[in-house]
Chain A
């Protein structure tokens, strides 16, 4: 009796167990036939790369403090590499060598532009001490930045084979320091350039005439009228101000990469702007240096002593001379070698 009862209970328990198991297993089996199969729903790298938009990376979550390391793959690095190794050197070589060739041809054809009426023996003050300080602050810092910057683009192929690896690294480390700190002197120079000369650099009708005659540079004795700055000089001024602003803004982004919000894509963009504008500016400044030194008699005194020959001033800045003489009288003109009388 007892045994029979136990046997009956066993069967009951077994039946209950089987029934209970079936209750649990059945929905699970149904679920497996459904859509959710968590281990097999694989994310595909190919799909993620295909879905990427320009400037984006395949990114996720990381548990380390460096959140930027959540960028898993940024294919645009390869495009920046093409810019750095191919596009920028090409732009630079065309701009700089092209400008040097143009200047060489111009010198060969036109020669040095002389003062047509000869030196008068009298000078007129063109740039005061502060004007010249601003010019040379900008100029010296620009040249240091240009040399150290060009080294980053062309040094590996031009200087490294000559100096050897260790010496080239030492030079480049020094160049990098110069570039990073002298940049601030250049920024100050650009701001001061804008402030002290903008009033004389507003484009006007006279500039059209000057440009149409190419400043009279083609023909001896051709001197289109100009005020304090002719259209060519205004071009240099605006190149320095606009180019300098672009260089400064992009340069600051590169100096403070940790403050850049846009991450690596923004740094890449800023470095591209920085590189291309730099090459164009080097080419423009080469032309400026040429015409201010070997290219034209009497021009460099404007930025050395600050006093130019009266005949040079009358030929190249006729309206400015008239204005100055009208405003300040003949006192501003004095023979070469003597200091102007105190006012």
Chain B
């Protein structure tokens, strides 16, 4: 099986936020939750770059390690998913996540966060593939339909790459070699203890 990863080529990202919008629309993500967002670094300065970031589906994921009820699991594709039936909304995954990926439907106090929601790599959840129950909790399961995550599929500049980690790393390396510069595979070092050698 392929080891699925995301790679955002920030030298191509134009901060159009279409990945954010596509994600919200595809999964009917509720108000206030952003499974993906675009962060602009050095805004307005020379060398400004934008990075589209969501759950990186870490190797040995910290969210899964700290979850008090063990509601996370990693699929054969290396995608980190969780069960909303088991989640108790304690917020620990958010404390541990290096990428701010876990989101909660409520911003209330007393730990009333509700069930955690995050990027599923368009791979649904523990329910049977492509069922109404799966859709309502986790959104569309595109991987089960043989498709890749929509955010990357419809990226207009092909800045955001999704797919087998080795293949997208190779594509990125070729780009960097050809144009002569690259800001790096954002998050790879922290998520996979591994980066794309440039």
Q: Which residues from chain A sit less than 8 Å from chain B, CB to CB?
A: 36, 38-46, 48-49, 58-64, 66, 68-78, 80-81, 84-85, 151-153, 155-156, 160, 165-166, 168-169, 172-173, 176, 180-181, 254-259, 264, 267-268, 271
Q: Is the interface of B mostly helix, strand, loop or mixed?
A: loop
Contacts of B71 in A (CB 8 A): 165, 169
Closest 6 CB pairs of A and B: A45-B184, A81-B62, A60-B41, A77-B98, A42-B183, A60-B39
Contacts of B42 in A (CB 8 A): 43, 60
Instruction: Kindly state the separation between the CA atoms of A264 and B183 in the bound complex, as whole angstroms.
Output: 26
Q: Are A78 and B190 in touch, CB under 8 angstroms?
A: yes
Contacts of B41 in A (CB 8 A): 43, 48, 58-60, 72
Instruction: Kindly state the separation between the CA atoms of A71 and B102 in the bound complex, as whole angstroms.
Output: 13
Contacts of A45 in B (CB 8 A): 183-187, 189
1/0 per residue, CB under 8 A from A, across B64-82: the answer is: 0111111100000000000
| B105 interfacial contact with A, CB 8 Å | no
Picked from B43, B46, B107, B187, the residue with its CB within 8 Å of the CB of A36 is B46
Of chain A, the residue at the smallest CB distance from B10 is: A43
Contacts of B185 in A (CB 8 A): 45
Instruction: Select the stretch in B88-96, B137-145, B150-158, B165-173 that faces chain A.
Output: B88-96
A66 with B181, Cβ < 8 A, contacts A49-B189, A81-B62, A267-B95 known: no
Q: Are A42 and B181 in touch, CB under 8 angstroms?
A: yes
A72 with B95, Cβ < 8 A, contacts A43-B183, A44-B184, A255-B110 known: no
Q: Are B85 and A44 in touch, CB under 8 angstroms?
A: no
Picked from A64, A156, A258, the residue with its CB within 8 Å of the CB of B69 is A156
Contacts of B189 in A (CB 8 A): 45-46, 49
Instruction: Kindly state the separation between the CA atoms of A75 and B88 in the bound complex, as whole angstroms.
Output: 25
Q: What are 16 of the A-B contact pairs (CB < 8 Å)?
A: A38-B46, A42-B182, A60-B43, A71-B100, A72-B39, A74-B99, A74-B100, A78-B190, A81-B62, A81-B66, A160-B69, A165-B71, A165-B86, A172-B69, A180-B111, A254-B111
Q: Which residues from chain B sit less than 8 Å from chain A, CB to CB?
A: 10-11, 15, 17, 20, 32, 34, 37-43, 46-51, 53, 62, 65-71, 83, 85-92, 94-100, 107, 109-111, 179-187, 189-190, 195
Picked from B11, B38, B86, the residue with its CB within 8 Å of the CB of A63 is B38
Contacts of A70 in B (CB 8 A): 39
Q: Is the interface of A mostly helix, strand, loop or mixed?
A: helix
A-B contacts, CB under 8 A, total: 167
A77 smallest CB distance to B (angstroms): 4
Contacts of B97 in A (CB 8 A): 77
Contacts of B99 in A (CB 8 A): 72-74
A257 with B53, Cβ < 8 A, contacts A69-B100, A156-B70, A165-B69 known: no
B108 smallest CB distance to A (angstroms): 8
A271 with B39, Cβ < 8 A, contacts A45-B185, A68-B100, A165-B86 known: no
Picked from B51, B62, B88, the residue with its CB within 8 Å of the CB of A72 is B51
Picked from B10, B98, B109, the residue with its CB within 8 Å of the CB of A74 is B98
Contacts of B70 in A (CB 8 A): 156, 160, 165
A88 smallest CB distance to B (angstroms): 10
Contacts of A271 in B (CB 8 A): 95
Picked from A61, A75, A268, the residue with its CB within 8 Å of the CB of B43 is A61
Instruction: Kindly state the separation between the CA atoms of A61 and B87 in the bound complex, as whole angstroms.
Output: 30
